[in-house]
Structure 1
Amino acid sequence: MTAGQRRRDESVSRRGLLGLTGLGVASAAGAFGMWKAASRESPVTVSGTPTAPPSSPAPTPPPFADRGPWKLGGSVPFVAGRAMLGSYLSLDGMSYRDAVKLRRKQLGRDQRITHVFYAWPDRLPTRIEGMPRKSVPLVSWRGPRYDKILSGDSDDLIAAAARRIRDLDRPVLLRWGWEMNGRWYEWSGFQNGRDPEGYVNCFRHLRKIFDAEGADRVSWVWSPNWNSAPPDAWNRMEAYYPGDKYVDWVGVSGYNLNQESPAVLFDPVYHRYSARKPIMITEVGAKDHGGTSKEDWIKAFAAYVEQRPAIGGVVWFDTDTHDAYTEHWRFDTRAESAAVFRQMAASQRFSG
């Protein structure tokens, strides 16, 4: 999430930090959802205020002419005109399995992407309890400081993680070290000597080890925050890009905390990368700013995705259990917002 949406929660125990390994996806996901915390900066662009969306409509990207010999989307292929709709799902007072059942009843469909969070030392999953049969796991894996990877000290840990992911019974989206262009995580450039190149080298190192271990059903998701904090030239998101042959999907996180439009949040990434890679909105939620604002924003978001054909995945931050702040991002806080979300989920565009 953006810097302005973060508050550090110092009360999380070490047991929470380690992800409650072995207790199932509901516990692990809940523990790691709360770790999206840090500074109180306002979400600003380099200019100091949110940028206006481009004056022209989003272009239809070229047919990925420069993608090279690799398969578009990797083991989780991009399907033109279709966006997979999924979520990080954690609802107060409900098990993960029961939350999945509720959403299936409300939407008349299952989520196509199941988003889960793991810490760096956690054992990555070989199975995810309660995940819908046709859902694709999106594993967000926290990172350490760069020197723990680049020194080679973590090679055995990385290789073990690769073997576990290899043993999953389906293709998997792996989002390592997300929002690296913010200052709130220990794998950020800001917390590693202002060194975006170090992040690039870490990302490449992980992928090489996974490939060597035969984890060839992994689609690698590179996922910056929608804006950079600090908004300095050295910290621009493109400085962290590992390169086309290492990235299968380009993701982005963005929330309308200050009533930003979808274009403000996502067009910088879309316009920069959509001609080269499929785009996945890996974290998104709508805050209720009063009146009909929540359902209005969901409608605007659905229209935005409809107009941008390179978006192949959307992952809602569907929770009311996030201890670091008071906003409830689940889509059904209002009957009207639930109805609009259901309409979006039923559309052809989200039938991936």
Structure 2
Amino acid sequence: MSSLGPAATVTASPSASASASATASKNAKVARDTGRGGPVSPATGKVMLGAYLSLSGRSASESLALRRSQLGRDQRIVHQFWAWDEAMPRTRSNVPSSSTLMISWHGVAWNKINGGASDKLIAAAARNLAAQGKPLLVRWAWEMNGDWFEWGGASNGKNADGYVSAWRRIHGIFADEGADNVSWVWSPNWNSSPGDAWNKMQRYYPGDDYVDWVGVSGYNFYKESPATLFNPIVNAYGAKKPIIVTETAAIDFGGTTKADWTDDLAAYARRTPELSAIVWFDTDTHNDTNFRIDSTTASLAAYRRMAANSHFQG
């Protein structure tokens, strides 16, 4: 399932098309090797715990302050969403100094990238993020194996090779612009929609040289366990890449179900050493579902137990 609705219509900035040789160069370019996880390294034996925060009636800074007072700590990862043609931030607005920024950057139809028309836009984004001067996570065109975004395989000819080419082109331009403070997060949905062979998540994988973290979106909308949601990604990529749950939240089915699932997630993370980060979709402003950690007294208590556990002090 998608956690966000379809992206707003965006218009890529025009630029001259790259030559065939330049395209090949960009697709082959690999940023310098900065070790496991890239510039944002996982903490051995620990989980980084963070959130996307959008709380009704509160600004971003007020939301962060509320969670700091409830949890006794800042978010280890602060998750923000940016549109494809929106100027990337040169500064870390509303990101505590001790936190790592993760930007989910909207995708676009692949032909707007692979033909070179977006090269200037991508280069500008790279320069802006490089100017931050601190390591950050970039999650471009997430949930590409779903059929709800314009950058999904279902809307782009059912040929995952085009996604891989677009990813590598963006990666190459960032390298050319010196944005070596970026860790790249490749993040499919936990299951593919449709479930046809052409849409298997592995077909979209850009390759080990182009990915620093492997992410996954997964919510227990149909009472799935954490293992059901996340084991496929852990089993496929956990031996070579740190795993980050880039979007998740517990669904309230009544009683203590939300708290119980949060406890289950914490237990799953403790017994899954490949899992290095969890980013909660902490909001009550998305559709009709309240994903907030404090929607009930029991759910807040469960989340606080997880945040206070030493395993989640990464």
**TM-score normalised by length of structure 1:** 0.81
Aligned pairs for 1:239-278 within 5 A: 239-278=203-242
Aligned pairs for 1:318-329 within 5 A: 318-322=282-286, 325-329=287-291
- The CA distance in 2 between the partners of 1:145 and 1:244, in whole Å, is 23
3-state SS of 1:255 partner? coil
3-state SS of 1:85 partner? strand
Partner of 1:206: 170
Aligned pairs for 1:107-256 within 5 A: 107-256=71-220
3-state SS of 2:235 partner? helix
* Contact in 2 for aligned 1:73/1:248 (Cα 8 Å): yes
Partner of 2:293: 331
Deviation (angstroms), 1:130: 2.1
* Contact in 2 for aligned 1:175/1:223 (Cα 8 Å): yes
Deviation (angstroms), 1:6: 7.0
- The CA distance in 2 between the partners of 1:252 and 1:268, in whole Å, is 10
- The CA distance in 1 between the partners of 2:261 and 2:180, in whole Å, is 38
3-state SS of 1:185 partner? coil
* Contact in 1 for aligned 2:284/2:291 (Cα 8 Å): yes
- The CA distance in 1 between the partners of 2:167 and 2:51, in whole Å, is 24
Deviation (angstroms), 1:129: 2.2
Partner of 1:62: none
- The CA distance in 2 between the partners of 1:299 and 1:6, in whole Å, is 25
- Structure 1: 4+ residue segments shifted above 3 A: 5-9
* Contact in 2 for aligned 1:181/1:224 (Cα 8 Å): yes
Partner of 2:310: 348
- The CA distance in 2 between the partners of 1:157 and 1:235, in whole Å, is 28
3-state SS of 1:190 partner? helix
Unaligned ranges ≥5, structure 1: 19-68
Over 3 Å counting, the alpha-carbon distance change for 1:7 and 1:221 in structure 2 is: closer
Deviations 1:55-97 (A, max 9, x none): xxxxxxxxxxxxxx65000000022111111000010000111
Over 3 Å counting, the alpha-carbon distance change for 1:86 and 1:80 in structure 2 is: same
CA RMSD of aligned residues (A): 1.7
Deviation (angstroms), 1:195: 1.0
Partner of 1:23: none
**TM-score normalised by length of structure 2:** 0.90
Partner of 1:307: 271
- The CA distance in 1 between the partners of 2:60 and 2:187, in whole Å, is 25
3-state SS of 2:194 partner? coil
* Contact in 2 for aligned 1:70/1:245 (Cα 8 Å): no
- The CA distance in 1 between the partners of 2:51 and 2:260, in whole Å, is 20
3-state SS of 2:222 partner? coil
Deviation (angstroms), 1:8: 6.5
Could you tell me which amino acid in structure 2 is paired with residue 223 of structure 1?
A: S
- The CA distance in 2 between the partners of 1:318 and 1:245, in whole Å, is 32
Partner of 1:292: 256
- The CA distance in 1 between the partners of 2:78 and 2:213, in whole Å, is 16
Deviations 1:87-110 (A, max 9, x none): 000100001111111000000000
3-state SS of 1:143 partner? coil
- The CA distance in 2 between the partners of 1:6 and 1:278, in whole Å, is 24
* Contact in 2 for aligned 1:80/1:310 (Cα 8 Å): no
Query: Which piece of structure 1 moves more, 77-86 or 244-253?
Result: 77-86
Deviation (angstroms), 1:284: 0.4
Deviation (angstroms), 1:348: 1.0
Aligned pairs for 1:16-95 within 5 A: 71-95=35-59
